A and B are shown apart, each in its own frame.
Chain A
Amino acid sequence: GAVVSQHPSWVICKSGTSVKIECRSLDFQATTMFWYRQFPKQSLMLMATSNEGSKATYEQGVEKDKFLINHASLTLSTLTVTSAHPEDSSFYICSAGGGRTEAFFGQGTRLTVV
Chain B
Amino acid sequence: AQKVTQAQTEISVVEKEDVTLDCVYETRDTTYYLFWYKQPPSGELVFLIRRNSFDEQNEISGRYSWNFQKSTSSFNFTITASQVVDSAVYFCALSAGGAIQGAQKLVFGQGTRLTINP
Report A's interface with B, CB cutoff 8 A. 1, 32, 34, 41-46, 49, 91, 93, 95-103, 105, 107-108, 110
Contacts and interface: CB of A to CB of B under 8 A. Distances in A.
Given A108-B43, A108-B44, A103 B104 contact: yes
**What is the interface of chain B mostly: helix, strand, loop, or mixed?**
strand
A100 B101 contact: yes
A97 B101 contact: yes
Contact of B43 (A34, A96, A107): A107
Chain B interface size, under 10 / 10 to 19 / 20 to 34 / 35 or more: 20 to 34
Interface stretch (B16-24, B70-78, B108-116): B108-116
B35 to A, nearest CB: 8
Contacts of A43: 91, 108-111
B32 to A, nearest CB: 11
Residue with the highest number of chain A CB atoms closer than 10 Å, among B52, B105, B113:
B105
**What is the interface of chain A mostly: helix, strand, loop, or mixed?**
strand
Contacts of B47: 1, 105
A78 to B, nearest CB: 19
Contact of A103 (B43, B52, B103, B110): B103
Contacts of A41: 113
B23 to A, nearest CB: 12
14 contacts: A1-B47, A43-B109, A43-B110, A46-B107, A93-B45, A99-B102, A100-B102, A100-B104, A102-B103, A105-B44, A105-B47, A107-B43, A108-B43, A108-B44
B11 to A, nearest CB: 15
